[in-house]
Amino acid sequence: MTESGRASRASGRQTRKSLFTAATELFLEHGDAVPIAQICAAAGAHPNQVTYYWGSKERLFVEVACAAVLRAGQQAEDAAAGAETVREYTELLVGTLLGPAAPSVELFTSAMLLVARRTDLRELITDTLRTLHTRGEDALLRTLVRTGWTLRAGIDVEAKAFWSAVFGLVIQKTATGESFGYSLEEAVAVIFANLQIPETVLSRAID
């Protein structure tokens, strides 16, 4: 490849990265209603470059949302990593997903609704959910091993139930805004009711 060809590819990668970064910031702040022109202005790019790299604004939005929720999941796991009890672990996990990381989770719930009419983008959502569930299984397994907690169902089922409950609460929070009636303690109780964690386990120390 010639020097000019390498420079062109490097420039293209940088443009794509700039568009993705700008789109992430704007989508997180304003949702999927952000116009392509605004994203391009923030990235110093042109609208046809969004089409070139993603084909449509919808695909860009879904890719941004998928990356955002994966970061949110990792952020929650990192926040809960130093917990000393199962209760503290669950509160930190849920508190992060419904607190600092909530905009990212909200973005992904919007993306899930979008693919109901854009089935060509469904694979992006499916792959992301699979990754979330796998990571959830790993995190849950590590906690189980350290506490001796016995699940009522397969660990894969419990991981899916956890994320389904999180998405449900986030949708409620998004829809009701200030009237969202759950405290952190109540949100933890709602999400883990399906896991049926007894009080004796919630107070158990994580070795």
Question: The CATH number of the domain where 47 resides is what?
Answer: 1.10.10
Asked if 95 and 189 touch (Cβ cutoff 8 Å), the reply is: no
* CA separation, residue 180 to residues 57, 168, 171 (Å): 31, 12, 10
Domain interval for residue 26: 1-55
Q: What is the pLDDT of residue 73?
A: 95
Q: Which of 25-39, 87-101, 131-145, 180-194 has the highest mean pLDDT?
A: 25-39
Paired strand residues for 85: 205
pLDDT at 191 over 80: no
- Domain termination residue (choose one: 55, 73, 94): 55
**103 and 22 inside one domain:** no
**42 and 114 inside one domain:** no
Going by C-beta distance under 8 Å and a sequence separation of 6 or more, which residues neighbour residue 187? 94, 95, 98, 169
Question: The CATH number of the domain where 149 resides is what?
Answer: 1.10.357.10
**129 and 157 inside one domain:** yes
**119 and 188 inside one domain:** yes
* CA separation, residue 34 to residues 6, 42, 102, 130, 161 (Å): 33, 12, 19, 28, 32
pLDDT tier for residue 7 given thresholds of 50, 70 and 90: very low
pLDDT in tens, 118-157: 999 999 999 999 999 999 888 887 777 677 777 777 888 8
pLDDT tier for residue 11 given thresholds of 50, 70 and 90: confident
Which pair of tokens denotes residue 59? 């695909």
Paired strand residues for 205: 85
Q: Is 7 exposed, middle or buried (0-12, 13-18, 19+ CB in 10 A)?
A: exposed
pLDDT in tens, 86-122: 888 888 998 899 889 999 999 999 999 999 999 999 9
Asked if 67 and 127 touch (Cβ cutoff 8 Å), the reply is: no
Q: Is residue 47 part of a domain?
A: yes
**35 and 81 inside one domain:** no
Higher pLDDT, 128 or 80: 128
**131 and 113 inside one domain:** yes
Q: Is residue 82 part of a domain?
A: yes
Which pair of tokens denotes residue 57? 């604004």
pLDDT at 180 over 80: no
